[in-house]
Amino acid sequence: MLTGGQILIECLRNEGVDTVFGYPGGAVLPIYDALYDSDIRHILTRHEQAAAHAADGYARATGRPGVCLATSGPGATNLVTGIANAAMDSVPMVALTGQVPTTLLGKDSFQEADITGITMPITKHNYLVRDINDLPRTIKEAFYIATTGRPGPVLIDIPRDVSGGKAEYRDPGPIGLRGYQPRLAGEPAKIAAAAKAIAMSRRPVIYAGGGVINSGAAEQLKKLAETLMAPVVVTLMGLGGFPADHPLFLGMLGMHGSKYANYAVSECDLLLAIGVRFDDRVTGKVETFAPHATVVHIDIDQAELGKNVPIDIAIPGDVRTVLVDLLKHLHGKPDPAWNEKIRLWKKEYPLDYKKQGLRPQAVIREIASVTAGKDVRITTEVGQNQMWTAQYFPFTRPRSFISSGGLGTMGYGFPAAIGVQVGCPDELVFDIAGDGSIQMNIQELATVVNYELPVNIAVLNNSYLGMVRQWQELFYDRRYSQTELKNPDFVRIAEAYDAQGIRVEKAAEIRPALEQAIASSKPVLLDFHIEREENVMPMVPPGESINKMLG
C-alpha cells in the first residue's frame, strides 16, 4: 500500500523523469513528503511561474517532457502564464497541482481554485483526479498526450485526500485513447502532388519552423535544401533547425527578418512550409504573403493547415516522417538565376548596425565569438534582446535557441535558462535579457546560486522597455509613455544574492567581460549599458507586406 504521493513518484520514475521544478504548499505536502525519499531531483524555484518556465526550458533543450509542481489556489494560478507559453510553442510539459480535498471542492475552500477550468483553453488536456486508483493511468496518459502528435502541456490536479490517501499501486499497462490517434505518415497521393509541384517550380523557398526541431527533422531538412538547392528561411522557433553557416540559409523571415529572406518569400513561385503555423509576425499582410507561390504545408496538427493563409497542398503528418518519404521523389534541379538573385540580395542588404558606442548587436556577436567551438545554449527574454539575438547569433544546431515565441512572455528567459542548465549541465548557458524582462523573475538568482548553476545573464540595459519604446518612436511621435525605467544597480543585486556581477560601459570591455564570465564557476550577471535608443531593424510595420521594410 502506497500513498498517492508515493504512487505519483513511482509513476514519474516510470516515465523517466529525473527532475521536477516546483514550490511547496499545504495541498501538495503528501507529494513533497514522498519526494523526500526519492531519487528524483527537485529544483526549488522562488516563484511558481519560474518553475513552469524552467520545466519549459528543460523540455526544449533536452527533448524530454518538463515537469513542474505547485500547490493549490495561488500556487496553481501562478503556473498559468508558463502553461500558456508552453501551449503556444508546442512544448511537452506536465504540470502537477495540488487541490483541496474532494469533500471541499466547489465550496470556496481556503486556497481553492478551479485550475482545470482555468487552464482548459491553454492545455492539450487536463485532469482532476478524484480517485486514488485512477492516478497511475492518469499520469501515464498525461505523458503520452504531452509528448505525442503536436507536443503540449497537460495538467493534473490532485486533491489532498488523493495524494494523502493509500492504495495498492498497479501499472496501468499500454495506453490507447480511441479519440486520440496522431497521424505520422503523410498520404502518398499528397506527397506525390507536392513532389510534382516542386519539380515544376523555378523559384522555390523552404520555410521551416519549430515543428522541424520537435520532430527531429534537421537532417532531413538539410538534405531537402541541398537536393533542391533551395534557400531556407526560418521562423523564430525554427532557429537552429537549419545551420546558420550554410550557404542556403537566409535567416529569419517576417517582421524583424532579414530583407533577403522577406524578398525571397515575396518572389518565390513555390513555398514549402514545414512545421510552421503562418504566425502574423511572419506573414504581415496575409493578402500579399508569398503572392506568386504554390504553397505546400506539412504539419502534424491538421488544424493548422489552411488556418491562417490559403494553401494549395496540405500534408498532415509528422515532419520527419513526411520528409523521409518526400525525399524519395525528389531530384536536384538548381536554378542558377534564382540563386544568383538571392546572392545579390544578401550582398546588397546585409544585416548591419552602427559601430560607434556600445551596441547590443556587438554584444551578441561577441557572445557568439567567445563561445565558438563550445556547446552553448542561448535563452532570451522578449523584446529587442530577443530579436537582436535571432538576427545576430549564428545558431547551428537544434535546441540551442530557447525563447518565448507565440506568447511573447517577458521574464521567460532566466528561469528557462535554469531548466536548460539542469538538463544540459556540461554546456554553457546564456540568457540574453532586457533590463525590463530580467526584473520580472530576478528573484531566481537565489535558485541559480543555491544549486550552483553557472548560468550567464547578459542584460542589454538601455533603461527603457526597449521594443515598446521603439514602437512609440516610430508610430507614436516619440511619446514615450511609461517606457522609461529607473533601474536598480544590477551588479549589486547579483552580488547580494552571492552571484557575480560585471558592469560593462565601453565596447572594448565586452569581450574581456564575457571571457571572465565564462571562466567563472558562479552564476554571472553582465550589465551592458547599451546605446539607449538603438532600434531593431529591419522592421515590417504592422499590417504591411513583408517586402515593405523600414531600416
Q: What is the pLDDT of residues 15-36, one digit of tens each?
A: 999 999 999 999 999 999 999 9
What average pLDDT does the structure give for the chain? 97
Residue corresponding to grid cell 550554410: 246
Q: DSSP labels for 435-493?
A: TTGGGGSGGGHHHHHHTT---EEEEEE-SB-HHHHHHHHHHSTT--TT-B-----HHHH
Sheet containing 401-402: give its strands across.
Answer: 401-402, 376-380, 428-434, 456-461, 524-529, 500-504
CB of 163 within 8 A of CB of 3?
yes
Mean pLDDT of 351-359: 96
Report yes or no: 342 and 265 within 8 Å, Cβ to Cβ: no
d(CA 262, CA 77): 40
Min mean pLDDT across 49-58, 168-177, 263-272, 396-405 is at 168-177
pLDDT tens figures, 457-488: 999 999 999 999 999 999 999 999 999 999 99
Examine the pLDDT at 331 and tell me if it is beyond 90: no
CA angle 144, 150, 154 (to 5 degrees): 50
Predicted local confidence at residue 63, as pLDDT? 98
Asked whether residue 334 carries a pLDDT value surpassing 90, the answer given is no
> How is the beta sheet containing 153-159 ordered, strand by strand?
41-44, 19-23, 66-70, 93-99, 153-159, 125-128
Backbone angles phi, psi at 73, to 5 degrees: 60, -120
Distances from the Cα of 195 to the Cαs of 333, 357, 407, in angstroms? Answer: 12, 51, 34
Confidence class for position 54, pLDDT limits 50, 70, 90: very high
Say which residue the cell 535544401 belongs to. 225
Mean pLDDT of the 318-332 span:
95
Give residue 425's pLDDT band: very low, low, confident or very high (50, 70, 90): very high
Spatial CA neighbour of 213 closest among 161, 151, 130:
151
Cα–Cα dist 256/434, whole Å:
17
Mean per-residue pLDDT, 520-541: 97
Pairing state between β 153-159 and 125-128:
parallel
Please give the pLDDT value at position 333.
75
pLDDT > 70: percent of the chain: 100
pLDDT at 335: 86
Cβ-based neighbour number of residue 441 at 10 Å: 26
492 — pLDDT class (breaks 50, 70, 90): very high
Query: Is the pLDDT confidence value at 89 over 80?
Result: yes
Domains of the chain: 2-167 (3.40.50.970), 188-348 (3.40.50.1220), 360-529 (3.40.50.970)
Mean pLDDT for the stretch of residues 380-403: 98
Say if CB 378 and CB 430 are below 8 A apart.
yes
Q: What is the pLDDT of residues 496-530, one digit of tens each?
A: 999 999 999 999 999 999 999 999 999 999 999 99
Place 441 in a pLDDT band, splitting at 50, 70 and 90: very high
Helix (H) or strand (E) holding 233, with range, is strand 232-234
> What one-character-per-residue DSSP string does 321-361 give?
HHHHHHHTT------HHHHHHHHHHHHHS------SS--HH
For position 256, what pLDDT does the model report? 98
Q: How far is CA 318 from the centre of its chain?
A: 19
Separation of alpha carbons 190 and 183, rounded Å: 14
CA atoms 517, 503, 414, 471: torsion sign: negative
Contacts of 504 (CB under 8 A, 6+ apart): 358, 510, 513, 526, 527, 528, 529
* 178-235 confidence digits (pLDDT tens): 889 999 999 999 999 999 999 999 999 999 999 999 999 999 999 999 999 999 999 9
**Is residue 301 very low, low, confident or very high in pLDDT (cuts 50, 70, 90)?**
very high
Q: How far apart are CA 491 and CA 188, in angstroms?
A: 59
- State yes or no: pLDDT of 332 exceeds 90: no
Q: Is 234 helix (H, G, I), strand (E, B) or coil?
A: strand
Q: In the predicted model, what is the mean pLDDT of residues 247-257?
A: 98
